[in-house]
Amino acid sequence: MVADSSVNALICAGTAVGLATAAYFAQQVAKIKLGNEGEVNSRTPILAQDRGHLQGGKESDEFHMDIHTISNFIAEGANAFLYQEYRIVSIFIFFFGLLLLFLLGGTTKDWTRAVLTTMAFVSGAVTSIISGFIGMRIAVYTNSRTAISAQAGVPDGRGFEYAFDTSFKGGAVMGFALVSIGLIVLFVLICLFNLYWSAAFGNSIDTPEQTKAMFEAIAGYGLGGSSIALFGRVGGGIYTKAADVGADLAGKVEAGLKEDDPRNPAVIADNVGDNVGDIAGMGADLFGSFAESSCAAMVISSQSPDLYNSWAAMLFPLALTASGIFVCLATTFVATHLMKTKTQKDIEPSLKRQLLVSTVLMTPVIFAICYTFFPSTFDVSDTVKNVHNYHIFFCVTSGLWAGLIIGYTTEYYTSHSYTPVREVAGSCATGAATNIIYGLALGYKSVIIPCFCLAITIYVGLKLAGMYGIAVAALGILSTIAIGLTIDSYGPICDNAGGIAEMSGMPEEVRDVTDALDAAGNTTAAIGKGFAIGSAALVSLALFGAFVTICGLSEHGINILQPFEFCGLLIGAMLPYWFSAMTMKSVGKAALDMVNEVRRQFATAPVDANGNKDFSKFQADYKTCVAISTAASLREMIAPGALVMLTPIIVGFFFGTRALAGVLAGALVSGVQIAISASNTGGAWDNAKKYIESGGIPGERKGGNVHKAAVVGDTVGDPLKDTSGPSLNILIKLMAIISVVFGPSFPSIGNAILEKVIS
């Protein structure tokens, strides 16, 4: 067994390396200068050594803005949204924290534990807010510099290399900073709680009850992180898709403008949405997965007679994450130094290589940690005995490799390099209806392999180490989270870079570079969602195990054929549909407001002698559209959030823990299927459109009937892939972590009421 000091040193070293890596990449991105404001020189010859000192803009074309103006608009919009969202979230943290404090304290009569759980909840929420904000800031800072880098490299054929390098480093800042901050805050919290319990119980917490109470209080950290992730994903998703759908329908389809024409009033809101939804929301989501999976593993291991007094074994989740930071750092050198991206064909292989290399390197590291952090043989519980340390290795690596297979499967179904998306693109020849049919079929089919992977992982985990095996399998899929966040953040950065290149009037060759990067980014974003959904399934199941353990349901099992259990199962399976309906309709309502505003502004454009709209003197009002998306998203995120937050509390208190167990199981099984299908369907429609725009179908490009049919599919898929789909993984995680945190208080009320009803 490794010494306690070595465990602490590993965690602190991993944090330091992660933060230093994020700072280094941020400094590399900052070296790229936008030039002097107002400078317009995109038509002058550009040398590679001049990279970083360029400015977009076409001469004699008043419809194009300089990059400083565009960047300022995007930054102001993103800051305005996050300020309003975090103001609402702060109110939520205060009142939900009070609810948590008084419900736990009042029902368990252990007020000290209730206070510490509330402290952990607030810590997790604040950490999630900070993580999302950092990601948004670096994305806004990097997107314009990615466009500049593409322009600088075009003359000598190095546009792909420069732009990829910039966007990748910007994404790495997000990945390493988020993981490092989440890791160190959780470690400090555990140390502080350990100090309290040691002081309160005679410098020792060697009894199972004390260790159990301590780590159940720590679970509040996961609750706080996941709560903010819900608002980030739902609110940010509604924002970005309302703006995107509004810009596409009113600007592209009706007015015939280009994708990112600056005359489209919703175009800035669209670019803002990429940052607040796909960056800040996604970062908060994966931070929540890390926090919850770590807490689930520690809660379950605190029940073990052989693990609860082992500092190394209890902090195994944090040590695994710290080791993953070193592995991810080594992996980034493959993309930035060893195998650079030089052509369009190199983009997707380079990103996929990051997943493969990190997985291969992480595997022996996992073995070393499992061998040194666990006893050679130990009991997880009274029913799970004689677990070997190499059993934990198999559980963790099954999750790690399942994540890789899920990622590659997602890429196959969402990249236009493969048959499925090309079939969807080809179906556009007969109109939008067949495009919709093919896209839905693709999404349903894409669920098969991920579910088999999750099933095998769950079987291995349960067979070898019970519910603890599931918990560490979830840690395995998240062990390379820094790389996952890097390639996921890369996508929205490139998407914004393409918009900036068009709005600033950069040459068509530059937009070809950013479009290719964006298409790969759509795939990596889909891969990131696949990782998030797969990890959410395992995390939710691990939390389910922690819940049944805390509430004493594991001793006799849960019979789903009993009335309350089966009813709970059915209702739980319905909840993802209810939640999806609410979020989809919210996007539709917000998009309707956006379309009407864009139409109103277009109606003010002057008319030429032929009766056609003359946009030469039209000035778009971006701020009004940004305000519409902000107000609509904040308004519409409340109802879905309340559904998720209140369901487990109401069911647990009024119908008991067995009914709640059924609800959690039903939501898990149903939610995973819908989330994977929705995310992949939307991703496929988006890349089918880009495949047509790139000339993939001979004779068809932008503006034709085939392209219009593809745009319709992309518009329909937007809320699926960026709102309802990704939000569902938070639904199943958040319901489970709420059940774990409130679990000790449910039996005192809910089960008593249930017994009276049954009798």
Q: Which two tokens stand for residue 106?
A: 């009042």
Please, what sign has the CA dihedral across residues 715, 716, 717, 722? positive
Residues 6+ apart with CB under 8 A from 627: none
- Chain-centre distance for alpha carbon 458: 22
What are the extents of the domains in the chain? Answer: 4-605+619-758
**384 has which bridge partners?**
none
CA dihedral 675, 678, 682, 684 (to 10 degrees): 90
Q: Name the pTM for this structure.
A: 0.85
- The string of pLDDT tens digits covering residues 232-252 is 888 888 887 778 777 777 777
Identify the pLDDT of residue 437.
Answer: 94
Identify the pLDDT of residue 104.
Answer: 83
**What distance in Å separates the CA atoms of residue 645 and residue 665, rounded to the nearest whole number?**
16
**What distance in Å separates the CA atoms of residue 546 and residue 293, rounded to the nearest whole number?**
11
Distance in angstroms between the alpha carbons of the first and the last residue of the chain: 52
**Contact between residue 723 and residue 237 where contact means Cβ atoms under 8 Å apart:** yes
Cα angle vertex 236, ends 571, 324, to 5°? 85
**Contact between residue 737 and residue 292 where contact means Cβ atoms under 8 Å apart:** yes
Residues 6+ apart with CB under 8 A from 369: 316, 319, 320, 323
**Contact between residue 320 and residue 475 where contact means Cβ atoms under 8 Å apart:** yes
Q: Among residues 455, 453, 464, which one has the least CA distance to residue 392?
A: 464
Q: How many residues does the chain have?
A: 759
Identify the pLDDT of residue 459.
Answer: 93
Cα angle vertex 360, ends 356, 366, to 5°? 135
* 500 burial level (CB within 10 Å; 0-12, 13-18, 19+): buried
Residues 6+ apart with CB under 8 A from 212: 299, 302, 303, 308
What letter represents residue 60's amino acid? S
Identify the pLDDT of residue 46.
Answer: 31
DSSP state of 722: I
Residues 6+ apart with CB under 8 A from 701: 692, 693, 695, 707
Q: Which residues of the chain have pLDDT under 70?
A: 1-3, 35-65, 199-208, 259, 554-557, 609, 611-617, 700-703, 747-759
**What distance in Å separates the CA atoms of residue 218 and residue 121, rounded to the nearest whole number?**
8
